[in-house]
Every structure is written in C-alpha cells, then in structure tokens.
C-alpha cells in the first residue's frame, strides 16, 4: 500500500510542474499554487491516515494470531482433560469391580474379585412340649424342653472352583462338629471331602431348617443316618442327579475300622408347573470285628430320652440298606412318601433280620402364593410371599403324616411304632419359624410293659419349636 501512495504523490508533483510551466497570468498562477498546496495537504493527511490504518491492520492480525494460538491451546487442554476424565472413570469402574460386594442373605455375604466369598452361618432351635405314656410303664414323661440345635459356622468359595463349609453345634453344652467340608466344582460335577451327610433319604438330606415336622421320619434316626467322614461326588444333569461316596464314621467315633459306601439317584421329570421328585438310594456298611448295632427311636420329639421301641445291641458284621423316595410340589400342595429297608448281617447261627421304616405325608399352605421350596434333590427354604414387615402375615402351612417303623424280624423283637402326626408351621419371614406338632403313637411289642404286662398301647406327644437362622 505504501508504494501506491508514493506513486500517487509523484504523479501529483509532476502535474504541478507541468502546470507551473504553462504561461498564465499572475493571478491564475497564485490561485493554482494555493490549490496545489491544499491538494498536497490533503494528500499528506491521506497518506498519514493510510499509515495509521496499516498499523491497525497489523495489530489486528497479531491479535487474531494470538487468539488462534490461545484457542488451539484451549482445545488441546480440553482434549487432555476429557482423556483424563475417561481414564479416571475407567479406573473408578475397575476399582468398583474389584472391590468386595456385600449381599444380605440372613447374614452378610461378602464376595471379592477372583471368586472369593465368605458368609457366617448359624441356627438356633428351641423345643418344648410334653409326652404322655401310660403311668404303669414307668417311662418318664411330662414336660420337656431343650436347645435342639445351636450352630455357628462359615461357608464360602475360593478361586479355582473350590469351596468350604464348617459348622459346630454347642447344644447341650457339648461342642460337636457337624459339617466340615472342602469342595471342588467343575462343570456339572462337585467333589467333596470331609464330614457331611451320606447320600441317604430325601428326609435325611433336607436341612432341619426346612423339615415340615419337629423331627425327621423315625427310620432316619433309628437306622443311624448321620454325618460321616469321607469323600463324595455329585453329578447333576437337567433331569438326573447322581450322588455317591465312601465313608468311615462320624468324627466323634473315630478312629475305628468301620467303612461304608452310599449312593443315591434322583430324577426330576417335568410335569407342567409341578415339581416331581423320584429317588432311590443304597447303603452298605462294613463293621469291624466285635462291633454291635442298635436300632431304637423316640416318640416324635427329641427332648425325651425314652425309646419305646428298641432292638438292643445286636452283633453285626455289616449293614445293607435300600430306599425309595417320591414327592410332588404343586403350588400350595405337596405330598411325599419314602420307604427304607435295613438288613443286618449277623454272625453265623443267627438269621439276618430286615427292618423297615417309611412315611406318607401331605401338606397345604393356607396363605396365598406360598409353596414349599425345593433345590438340588431335596426340600429347601420356604420364602413367604407376604412376610411380616412387608404388610403380610408370612406363610402358614398345615401338614399330616403317617409314620411307620418296624424293628421286629427274624427273632429280633424290637417293637413297632405307628405315628399319626399333624403340624402347623408359621414362617413370619424367610429366616424365622414357629412350629407346633402333635403325634399319637401306637406301639406293638413296646419295651416298657404296663403293670398288667401289656406292650401294646399309645403315647401322646406334643412339641413346639421356635427357630431362627442366618
């Protein structure tokens, strides 16, 4: 722009020279000189203005360049801030995923990264009631009560498919180990080592927390079903479950040379919305030389020590048992039946007796929407549809049972027991229960005769249980 202004000034000066050289009058000449002077002044002002505009333009360009640089820097800072925020969010999510989580299932269950878990366990069952036997038998009866179970323990998982469970029972002021298990799970198979229930009977394998009567069926206790130390395996399919194990004896009775094997198969064929259970089990026990067995049973409740049927001690080399199971759950209704035959191999010169026990039961929920729980080939926790604390009264269930146990065979007269039982079960919540039982037990060949020598009579039994678990 400066070169253009310079050329314009030169052209004006040249024009002024030419005009000055032309002949003119003195007056015209003076006027022309004044006009030229004025023109030069205007041109000078214009040049100054142009110079000022050029300076302003340069300043504007410099400011624009600075603003552009600042905007680029701000954009880079914003991008860096966004990346940092994303990294922070990702790190926070990773930390949250790896942090332990706590769920509440009766008690806190803590789960950590990699497959760790830990859950405290416990149950408390307090029983009270009475038994009423003919006075002349001399059997103790009347009021009784006890802390039936007071257990504490832990269970959980270890990375790699391993698990554990350990529980002790302090009922009766005696510390006894109930479950002490290390397990390993892979696919549909689970392997266990330690002390746990052998694979016998739906009634026996159902937890005492979920039974429908204050005590299990008579044959399970009479035939010595209990936890034993051993190894077991379980294979679960869509319909069939197979369980088998080899065992020694209960931890309290070790060490001896007794050993046994148990196996059980369960099928759950589908039938609409109903749950079907069909099962069978087999038991064998090899007893060390000089061992004896004794089969006996209380009248429904545990807080009495009296057993009205009893084989006494029998010399035995082995036991062989076989059981059948069947059950159905359909909405509020359930029915179940079991039978078990126990054969005792006695020394030479004695016949081998076979004893039998079994029961038939039916139950119905009086509260809407409730049903009996079932899981893993056994009855499980009932969860009230409308528990106390959430606007409901919990679940109420009525159950009837006929229970039979015969301990007389092949010269052994242990007596027989026919029980007619009714129970009312109220579960205010998932983890609390109140249970009332009444039983009338008819005996034949009872071990306590009356004053007239009669061994066939009835005993009444009533029991209440208050229960809580976590």
- State pLDDT tens for residues 305-348: 999 999 999 999 999 999 999 999 999 999 999 999 999 999 98
Q: Is the pLDDT of residue 17 over 90?
A: no
Strands (DSSP E) along 307-377, which ranges?
309-310, 314-315, 318-330, 333-345, 354-365, 373-375
pLDDT of amino acid 443: 98
Q: Alpha-carbon distance 300 to 141, whole Å?
A: 13
Beta bridge partners of 205: none
* Confidence (pLDDT) at 26: 62
pLDDT tens digit sequence for 47-88: 777 877 777 777 777 787 777 777 787 777 777 777 777 777
- In 3D space, the residue among 300, 101, 282, 132 whose CA is nearest the CA of residue 213 turns out to be 300
Q: Minimum mean pLDDT among 22-31, 49-58, 362-371: which range?
A: 22-31
pLDDT at 92: 64
Average pLDDT, the chain: 90
Lowest pLDDT segment from 4-8, 183-187, 261-265, 386-390: 4-8
pTM: 0.80
**Maximal CA-CA distance, the chain:** 179
What CA–CA distance (Å, rounded) separates 55 from 52?
Answer: 5
* Distances, alpha carbon 116 to alpha carbons 22, 106, 108, 193, 303, in Å: 114, 19, 14, 20, 40
- The pLDDT value recorded for residue 4 is 47
Distance from C-alpha of 88 to C-alpha of 95, rounded to nearest angstrom: 10
- On the question of pLDDT at 9 being above 60, the answer is no
Q: Give residue 24's pLDDT.
A: 47
pLDDT exceeds 60 at position 245: yes
Structure tokens of 68?
């552009």
Q: Look at residue 96 in the predicted model and tell me its pLDDT.
A: 58
411 vs 24, residue with greater confidence: 411
Give residue-wise pLDDT tens across range 156-165: 999 999 999 9
Joined tokens for residue 422: 């009714």
Residue 205: predicted pLDDT: 98
The number of CA neighbours under 13 Å toward the Cβ of 227 is: 18
348-359 pLDDT, tens per residue? 889 999 999 999
């Amino acid at each position: 722009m400066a070169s253009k202004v310079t050329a314009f000034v030169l052209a004006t000066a040249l024009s002024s020279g030419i005009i000055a050289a032309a002949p003119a009058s003195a007056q015209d000449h003076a006027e022309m000189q004044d006009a030229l002077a004025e023109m030069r002044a205007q041109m000078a002002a214009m040049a100054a203005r142009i110079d000022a505009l050029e300076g302003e333009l340069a300043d504007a360009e410099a400011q624009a360049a600075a603003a552009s640089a600042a905007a680029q820097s701000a954009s880079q800072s914003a991008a860096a801030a966004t990346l940092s925020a994303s990294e922070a969010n990702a790190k926070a999510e990773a930390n949250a995923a790896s942090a332990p989580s706590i769920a509440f299932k009766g008690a806190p269950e803590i789960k950590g990264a990699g497959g760790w878990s830990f859950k405290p366990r416990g149950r408390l069952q307090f029983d009270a009631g009475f038994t009423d036997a003919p006075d002349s038998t001399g059997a103790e009866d009347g009021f009784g009560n006890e802390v039936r179970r007071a257990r504490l323990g832990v269970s959980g998982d270890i990375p790699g498919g391993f698990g554990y469970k350990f529980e002790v029972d302090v009922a009766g002021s005696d510390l006894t180990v109930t479950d002490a298990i290390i397990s390993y799970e892979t696919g549909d198979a689970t392997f266990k080592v330690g002390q746990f229930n052998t694979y016998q009977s739906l009634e026996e394998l159902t937890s005492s927390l979920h039974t429908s009567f204050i005590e299990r069926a008579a044959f399970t206790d009479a035939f010595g079903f209990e936890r034993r130390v051993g190894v077991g395996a379980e294979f679960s399919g869509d319909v069939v479950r197979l369980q088998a194990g080899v065992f020694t004896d209960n931890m309290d009775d070790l060490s001896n040379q007794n050993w046994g094997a148990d196996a059980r198969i369960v099928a759950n064929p589908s039938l609409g919305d109903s749950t079907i259970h069909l099962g069978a089990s087999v038991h064998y026990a090899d007893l060390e030389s000089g061992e004896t067995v004794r089969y006996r049973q209380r009248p429904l409740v545990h807080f009495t020590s009296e057993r009205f049927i009893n084989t006494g001690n029998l010399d035995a080399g082995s036991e062989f048992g076989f059981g059948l199971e069947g059950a159905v759950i359909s909405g509020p209704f359930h029915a179940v039946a079991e039978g078990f035959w126990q054969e005792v191999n006695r020394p030479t010169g004695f016949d081998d007796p076979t004893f039998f026990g079994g029961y038939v039961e039916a139950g119905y929920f009086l509260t809407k929407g409730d049903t009996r729980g079932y899981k893993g080939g056994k009855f499980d926790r009932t969860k009230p549809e409308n528990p106390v604390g959430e606007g409901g009264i919990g679940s109420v269930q009525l159950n009837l049972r006929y229970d039979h146990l015969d301990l007389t065979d092949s010269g052994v007269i242990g007596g027989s027991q026919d029980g007619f039982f009714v129970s009312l079960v109220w579960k205010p919540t998932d983890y609390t229960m109140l249970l009332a039982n009444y039983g009338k037990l008819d005996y034949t060949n009872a071990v306590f005769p009356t004053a007239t020598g009669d061994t066939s009579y009835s005993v009444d039994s009533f029991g209440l249980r208050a229960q809580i678990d976590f």
